[in-house]
Amino acid sequence: MTRTTTAPQWQLEVTAMTAPAGIRLCGEVDISTLPTLELALEILVDRAGDATIDLCELVFIDVTGLRALARAAILLRTAGRCLRLRGANAQTLRILGLFGWVELFELLY
Protein backbone atom coordinates (compact mmCIF):
# COMPACT_ATOMS: atom_id res chain seq x y z
CA MET A 1 0.00 0.00 0.00
CA THR A 2 1.35 3.44 -0.87
CA ARG A 3 0.27 6.75 0.50
CA THR A 4 0.91 10.06 -1.17
CA THR A 5 1.13 13.40 0.55
CA THR A 6 0.99 16.60 -1.40
CA ALA A 7 -0.28 20.12 -0.87
CA PRO A 8 -1.67 22.24 -3.70
CA GLN A 9 0.60 25.25 -3.04
CA TRP A 10 3.67 23.03 -2.77
CA GLN A 11 5.53 21.40 -5.58
CA LEU A 12 6.66 18.25 -3.77
CA GLU A 13 4.98 14.88 -3.69
CA VAL A 14 6.15 12.25 -1.19
CA THR A 15 5.04 8.66 -1.73
CA ALA A 16 5.68 5.86 0.76
CA MET A 17 7.33 2.75 -0.68
CA THR A 18 7.19 -0.71 0.84
CA ALA A 19 9.68 -2.58 -1.35
CA PRO A 20 12.22 -1.30 -0.65
CA ALA A 21 11.07 0.49 2.48
CA GLY A 22 11.35 4.22 2.02
CA ILE A 23 9.94 7.18 0.14
CA ARG A 24 9.79 8.47 -3.42
CA LEU A 25 10.18 12.21 -4.00
CA CYS A 26 8.64 13.88 -7.03
CA GLY A 27 8.92 17.56 -7.85
CA GLU A 28 11.06 20.13 -6.07
CA VAL A 29 12.58 20.53 -2.63
CA ASP A 30 13.23 24.11 -1.59
CA ILE A 31 12.54 26.26 1.46
CA SER A 32 8.77 26.17 0.80
CA THR A 33 8.56 22.37 0.57
CA LEU A 34 11.21 21.59 3.19
CA PRO A 35 8.67 21.02 6.02
CA THR A 36 7.03 18.24 3.99
CA LEU A 37 10.40 16.56 3.40
CA GLU A 38 11.44 16.91 7.04
CA LEU A 39 8.19 15.31 8.23
CA ALA A 40 8.60 12.41 5.79
CA LEU A 41 12.23 11.92 6.91
CA GLU A 42 11.23 11.99 10.58
CA ILE A 43 8.71 9.21 9.94
CA LEU A 44 11.28 7.28 7.91
CA VAL A 45 13.95 7.50 10.63
CA ASP A 46 11.45 6.33 13.27
CA ARG A 47 10.82 3.11 11.33
CA ALA A 48 12.95 0.01 11.84
CA GLY A 49 15.57 -1.03 9.32
CA ASP A 50 17.39 0.61 6.45
CA ALA A 51 15.62 3.14 4.24
CA THR A 52 15.67 4.10 0.57
CA ILE A 53 14.83 7.47 -0.93
CA ASP A 54 14.01 7.39 -4.63
CA LEU A 55 15.05 10.66 -6.28
CA CYS A 56 14.37 9.59 -9.89
CA GLU A 57 11.45 12.01 -10.27
CA LEU A 58 12.99 14.84 -8.26
CA VAL A 59 13.52 17.86 -10.50
CA PHE A 60 15.34 20.12 -8.01
CA ILE A 61 16.69 19.98 -4.46
CA ASP A 62 18.40 22.89 -2.75
CA VAL A 63 21.02 22.74 -0.02
CA THR A 64 18.40 22.87 2.75
CA GLY A 65 16.86 19.68 1.37
CA LEU A 66 20.24 18.01 1.03
CA ARG A 67 21.08 19.00 4.61
CA ALA A 68 17.83 17.35 5.76
CA LEU A 69 18.79 14.16 3.90
CA ALA A 70 22.27 14.26 5.48
CA ARG A 71 20.79 14.67 8.98
CA ALA A 72 18.50 11.67 8.40
CA ALA A 73 21.46 9.62 7.13
CA ILE A 74 23.47 10.50 10.26
CA LEU A 75 20.57 9.53 12.53
CA LEU A 76 20.18 6.20 10.74
CA ARG A 77 23.92 5.53 10.75
CA THR A 78 24.06 6.24 14.50
CA ALA A 79 21.39 3.56 14.92
CA GLY A 80 23.41 1.10 12.80
CA ARG A 81 21.17 1.54 9.77
CA CYS A 82 21.68 2.80 6.23
CA LEU A 83 20.05 5.46 4.06
CA ARG A 84 20.13 4.65 0.36
CA LEU A 85 19.63 7.23 -2.37
CA ARG A 86 18.35 5.90 -5.67
CA GLY A 87 18.49 7.90 -8.88
CA ALA A 88 20.36 10.99 -7.65
CA ASN A 89 21.29 13.16 -10.63
CA ALA A 90 24.80 14.49 -11.33
CA GLN A 91 24.07 17.92 -9.83
CA THR A 92 22.77 16.42 -6.58
CA LEU A 93 25.79 14.14 -6.32
CA ARG A 94 28.15 17.05 -7.01
CA ILE A 95 26.66 19.17 -4.23
CA LEU A 96 26.66 16.22 -1.80
CA GLY A 97 30.33 15.73 -2.66
CA LEU A 98 31.20 19.41 -2.17
CA PHE A 99 29.76 19.33 1.34
CA GLY A 100 31.35 15.97 2.15
CA TRP A 101 27.96 14.33 2.58
CA VAL A 102 28.10 11.77 -0.24
CA GLU A 103 29.74 9.14 2.00
CA LEU A 104 26.76 9.29 4.36
CA PHE A 105 24.65 7.43 1.79
CA GLU A 106 24.67 4.19 -0.11
CA LEU A 107 24.09 5.26 -3.71
CA LEU A 108 21.90 3.18 -6.02
CA TYR A 109 21.65 3.87 -9.72
Residue ranges of domains in the chain, CATH in brackets: 4-108 (3.30.750.24)
What confidence category does residue 14 fall into, taking pLDDT thresholds of 50, 70 and 90? Answer: very high
Q: What is the mean pLDDT of the chain?
A: 92
* Per-residue confidence (pLDDT) for residue 74, from 0 to 100: 98
Q: Using 50, 70 and 90 to split pLDDT, how confident is the model at 98?
A: very high
Residues 6 or more apart in contact with residue 106 via CB below 8 angstroms: 82, 83, 84, 85
Determine the pLDDT at residue 24: 98
- Position 6 pLDDT exceeds 70: no
